[in-house]
């Protein structure tokens, strides 16, 4: 979930300034100063004023792109599949761009520590993304995850209709 990823990023940067509220407090807790938002901005018990929640409203971002470009000129990369099947996802991008597919599964390896995909260099070594990628996300209470899924479900459906494709979130 995008909000959890954003929270993980923010909390890793914030460690030098002290503890950060929990994800649950930020996403569904009572309005607090750290949200820097209007206390009435809750929908379905979710703090929609929090930027980490708003960034996951993909249909709003996509609309701006579609106001300027037809969908045929836009390629959506499935971030989950990019992690689980990087060669497959990149080969779809190659086809979209009209390129001869050259990327294969053997061009990737897995970071032994983070278990995140890396590009295999010609010498066989791995080139992995920086320390900010592939971090462990916090465990989130099941009731909060359910509330967020209920909140995002209609928003995701709007996005899926726009792109004429469903993604497995």
Residue 166 marked ligand-binding: no
Q: Tell me: is residue 137 an annotated ligand-binding position.
A: yes
CA angle 46, 66, 168 (to 5 degrees): 50
Q: Was 98 annotated as part of a binding site?
A: no
40 labelled ligand-binding: no
* Helical H segments across the chain, by residue range: 2-14, 23-28, 51-54, 58-66, 79-84, 86-96, 142-163
- Residue 136 annotated as binding site: yes
Q: What are phi and psi of 21, to 5 degrees?
A: -60, 160
> How far is Cα of residue 127 from the mean position of the Cα atoms in its chain?
22
Known binding residue 12? Answer is no
Q: Which residues define the annotated binding site for 3'-phosphoadenylyl sulfate?
A: 5, 133-137
Q: Which residues define the annotated binding site?
A: 5, 133-137
């Amino acid at each position: 979930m995008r909000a959890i990823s954003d929270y993980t990023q923010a909390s890793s940067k914030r460690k030098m300034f002290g503890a950060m509220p929990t994800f649950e407090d930020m996403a569904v807790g009572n309005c607090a100063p750290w949200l820097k938002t209007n206390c009435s901005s809750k929908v379905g018990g979710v703090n929609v004023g929090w930027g980490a929640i708003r960034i996951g409203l993909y249909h709003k971002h996509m609309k701006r792109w579609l106001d300027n470009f037809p969908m045929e000129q836009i390629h959506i990369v499935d971030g989950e599949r990019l992690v689980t099947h990087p060669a497959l996802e990149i080969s779809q991008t190659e086809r979209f761009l009209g390129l001869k597919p050259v990327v294969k599964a053997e061009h990737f390896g897995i970071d032994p520590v983070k278990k995140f995909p890396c590009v295999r260099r010609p010498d066989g070594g791995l080139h992995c993304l920086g320390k900010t990628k592939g971090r462990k996300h916090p465990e989130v209470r099941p009731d909060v995850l359910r509330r967020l899924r209920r909140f995002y479900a209609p928003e995701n459906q709007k996005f899926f209709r726009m792109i004429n494709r469903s993604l497995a979130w």
